[in-house]
Amino acid sequence: MSVQKPVVMIGSWPPRKCGIGTFAEEALEFIQKHDSRRPTFVISHTDGRGDNVFPLMDIGRADWYEPVVERVRELDPYAVHIQHEYGLYEHVDENGEGDGNEGFLRMLERLEDYPTVVEPHTVHGRMKNHEERFIRRVAERCNVLLFKCHYQKWRLDWNFSRHNWERPRNIMIIPHGARPDRRFSIDEVEGLKDELGLGHLRGKHLIGLVGWIQANKRWDIVTSMWNDLYEEIHAETGQDWVLLGAGDIRDPNDRDEFQRYVSGVRLLEEKGIGHFYRFTPRGDVYYKVMGICDFIVLPTVDETQSGTLARIIALNKPYVTTAPLEGLTAQTLENGGGLLFTNRRMLHENIVRLATDEGLRWELGFRLYRYLMDVVSWEVIAGQYYEAYRAANAEVHEGRPIDIPPEF
């Protein structure tokens, strides 16, 4: 039996504390499951580790892409699947000048003989000039460009029209995947609390602020309101509710905000109505921490897509999040499982609404279950990735141009 050509993933990879690396790790797990006969390899930054991982990208070098291209040629892949975030590929020279991701574009040019699929993780609806130019150049150099939300594609028509640029015909919509195999039953929740060392929270209802603690996550919005919220919820339900802040810092530049956000939770902890739990938001423990919560509040002020939201969906947890905020709002409208807020009054009302209406929590959770299984399960997404790989192969090896119709 002939050996199948591999899929090669390029991007950030654990143990780096990076949401793109965590995303890529989960994505590749299900890409492997979709076709277990096909080998998979990873080309990562120099801090990547693991089986079949080649830590070759030293972004401190202007020509960091050269060893990447060389290794791809040695592997002779079926498809090259590239995860993109601007900061992952920005070379900064000795004068402190960034190259605007020129090295990334050179890598794509050097890989033109191989089927390439690029998956950018930051595509804003209203782009800055440099973002418009970059996306246009990437679309010209890769075979398939993956956007995660439909609005990103149809908004691109507007962005490009003011330059009289032709709309790319190789953009495919594949949403952010979510695990279909990490849900917990109600009967498991108290045991999970014990397993996590949170047995003292047995019998209490939990509202979660869960994930990487960054400046843009704004836990302080919720902690500053929790005293009043607790009193109102307790008066209506007679139940004990605790605000659970759980996560860790990722970017050292966010240390001041991290300390401020955690201090807010600690003050609530002294009153017995809050608790802080420090853990690295990655792997099974991430799902277990979120699994013990009745619902999640995601008060971020700057997101396009969100790995935290993917885990909320995976666990079918009702949630409250900020709007209008790019992918968070778009996906919340599509899944029907979350409540949106635009000001403090709406945030207050929606938290109270979810905490005092168990039937609503079940209804929103079921909507998220259907959305997970039908739309964003990694098992579904892996199949869509393979559609992109096949289209890229057909263009490179058979000369069949990709022509994906517009959204509207």
Which amino acid, residue 216? N
Over residues 155-164, the pLDDT tens digits come to: 998 899 989 9
d(CA 341, CA 344): 8
d(CA 109, CA 105): 6
Q: Is the peptide bond before 324 cis (omega within 30 degrees of 0)?
A: yes
pLDDT of residue 408: 83
Over residues 77-100, the pLDDT tens digits come to: 999 999 999 999 999 999 999 999
> What are 220's two structure tokens?
């302080």
Structural domains for the chain: 7-177+378-398 (3.40.50.2000), 186-376 (3.40.50.2000)
How would residue 17 be classed by pLDDT, with cut points 50, 70 and 90?
confident
Angle, in degrees to the nearest 10, between helices 102-110 and 65-75:
20
Instruction: Taking residues 374-378, report their average pLDDT.
Output: 98
pLDDT at 9 over 60: yes
Instruction: Give, for 119, the enclosing helix (H) or strand (E).
Output: strand 116-120
The total of other beta-carbon atoms located within 10 Å of residue 94's CB is 5
pLDDT of residue 250: 87
d(CA 335, CA 317): 12
Over residues 21-57, the pLDDT tens digits come to: 999 999 999 999 999 999 999 999 999 999 999 999 9
Q: Is the peptide bond before 15 cis (omega within 30 degrees of 0)?
A: yes
Q: Measured at the alpha carbon of residue 167, what is the angle toward residues 166 and 172, in degrees to the nearest 5? A: 155
Q: Could you tell me the CA-to-CA distances from 172 to 107, 144, 236 in Å, in that order?
A: 21, 7, 48
